[in-house]
């Protein structure tokens, strides 16, 4: 389930938006100030932030700039919510690093469409679309992972963490992900979980992929982390 952090000091609006988002299947956390929002993000990185411009204390605009300047939150999908609708403010919001901008009042339908568009672009692992690499298919809706081997479709069994890890890898192929990044994006937490945990689950994921002959798609990049290859390349040693 995708997680959304709603940063809004007006309780009635925060509540209304949350009800609509939960109804649409999102997991919602509310923060009423920039400080609360920062604490929430420090604890668990959400898939997307709906950030109100006008907040007591630090503004949403300043918070967006701050997040963009930090390595951990640089890629965090942000949609700015605001009563301001004119061109100059819109440009300022996008300049601060917001991925999109929505002027109040907005319809739930429009909000959901904008959220899905930003997630599709920046965090496809948070959506339910099926993905496929080298015949390996992962369908988040049915939670099935399959691959055709010698004319027979095989279903690969794996635990929920391995499934999320594979989903993240498949939606961000070819890029090297550090253990810290994987903890943030797959586990949602880079502080309280040991980096070694990542290695344990990558090992289990490779074991789960082995029967379909595609364990080698998950590559170890020495000193950097892991990467999902987009092609199965034969290695000198052969096999998986």
Give the residue, chosen from 9, 75, 89, 100, that forms a contact with Ca ion under the rule CB under 5 A: 9
Q: What sign does the dihedral 193-194-195-201 (CA atoms) show?
A: negative
Q: Is 54 in the site for Ca ion (CB under 5 A)?
A: yes
What minimum distance in Å lies between the beta carbon of 59 and Ca ion?
9
CA 232/CA 240 separation, integer angstroms: 10
- Given the complex with Ca ion, which of 54 and 127 has the nearer CB atom? 54
Give the helix ranges, DSSP H, for the chain. Answer: 11-23, 34-43, 60-68, 87-95, 108-122, 160-171, 179-182, 196-209
- Given the complex with Ca ion, which of 9 and 75 has the nearer CB atom? 9
What minimum distance in Å lies between the beta carbon of 104 and Ca ion?
9
Q: How far is CA 95 from CA 80, 91, 167, in A?
A: 11, 6, 31
- Given the complex with Ca ion, which of 34 and 209 has the nearer CB atom? 34
Binding window for Ca ion (CB under 5 A); candidates: 1-9, 102-110, 112-120, 164-172: 1-9
Q: What sign does the dihedral 16-21-26-30 (CA atoms) show?
A: negative
- State the number of binding residues for Ca ion (CB under 5 A): 3
What minimum distance in Å lies between the beta carbon of 58 and Ca ion?
12
Binding letters toward Ca ion, positions 34-53, x by CB under 5 A: ------------------x-
- Given the complex with Ca ion, which of 2 and 82 has the nearer CB atom? 82
Contact 53, 84 (CB under 8 A): yes
Q: How far is CA 21 from CA 1, 7, 102, 108, in A?
A: 12, 13, 15, 8
Q: Interface with Ca ion by CB under 5 A: which residues?
A: 9, 52, 54
């Amino acid at each position: 389930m995708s997680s959304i952090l709603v940063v809004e000091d007006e309780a009635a609006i925060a509540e209304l938006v949350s009800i609509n988002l939960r109804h649409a299947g999102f997991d919602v956390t509310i923060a009423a100030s920039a400080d609360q929002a920062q604490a929430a993000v420090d604890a668990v990185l959400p898939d997307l932030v709906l950030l109100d411009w006008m907040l007591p204390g630090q503004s949403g605009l300043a918070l967006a700039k701050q997040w963009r300047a930090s390595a951990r939150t640089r890629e965090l999908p942000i949609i700015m919510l605001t009563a301001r609708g004119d061109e100059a403010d819109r440009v300022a919001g996008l300049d601060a690093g917001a991925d999109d901008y929505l002027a109040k009042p907005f319809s739930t339908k429009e909000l959901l469409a904008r959220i899905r568009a930003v997630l599709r672009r920046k965090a496809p692992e948070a959506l339910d679309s099926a993905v496929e690499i080298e015949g390996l298919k992962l369908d988040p809706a049915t939670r099935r992972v399959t691959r055709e081997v010698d004319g027979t479709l095989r279903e690969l069994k794996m635990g929920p963490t391995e499934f999320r890890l594979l989903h993240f890898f498949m939606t961000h192929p070819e890029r090297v992900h550090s253990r810290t990044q994987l903890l943030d994006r797959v586990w949602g937490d880079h502080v309280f979980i040991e980096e070694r945990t990542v290695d344990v689950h990558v090992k289990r994921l490779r074991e789960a992929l082995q029967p379909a002959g595609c364990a080698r798609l998950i590559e170890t990049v020495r000193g950097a982390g892991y990467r999902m290859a987009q092609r199965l390349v034969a290695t000198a040693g052969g096999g998986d």
